[in-house]
Each structure stands twice: as C-alpha cells, then as structure tokens.
C-alpha cells in the first residue's frame, strides 16, 4: 500500500508523465504483438496463390487437349 501513497504524493505533472508512459508502452506492446502474430502466417495469400496455380494448370490442360 506504500506504493500507492508514494504515487499520490507526486506532483500532478509527474503523475501524468508516469500514466502517459505506461499507456504508451502498453499501446506499443499491443501493436508489436499484433504485427508479429499477423505477419507470421499469411494463410489468405497462400490460398490465393494455390488457387491461381490450379487455375493455370487447368488452362494448360484444356489448351493441350483441345489441339488436334
């Protein structure tokens, strides 16, 4: 409980700086965590690439089978 009483005895500007620093650290932490989690795997792009690859293979197969 002594930590809370010491925080109350600080000047208002000092308290604001401590709170602003804590909030800024939290926001940056969440941002970097999110970017790392999202950037690790791009499942949607992998699925799109696979679909385009299958589409191009079908076009090649139909092109070869239609030629006499």
pLDDT, average across residues 29-40: 86
Share of the chain above pLDDT 90, in %: 40
Give the model's pLDDT for residue 44: 80
Mean pLDDT of 6-11: 85
- What is this structure's pTM? 0.51
Residue 52 DSSP SS3: helix
The structure tokens listed for 68 are 């006499």
Across 46-63, b (16+ Cβ under 10 Å) vs e yields eeeeeeeeeeeeeeeeee
Q: Where are the domains of the chain?
A: 2-66
pLDDT (0 to 100) of residue 33: 92
């Amino acid at each position: 409980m002594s930590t809370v009483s010491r925080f109350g005895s600080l000047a208002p500007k000092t308290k604001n700086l401590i709170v602003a620093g804590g909030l800024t650290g939290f926001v940056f932490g969440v941002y970097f965590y999110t970017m790392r989690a999202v950037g690790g795997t791009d499942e949607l792009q992998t699925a799109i690439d696979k679909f385009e690859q299958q589409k191009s293979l079908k076009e090649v197969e139909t092109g070869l089978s239609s030629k006499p």
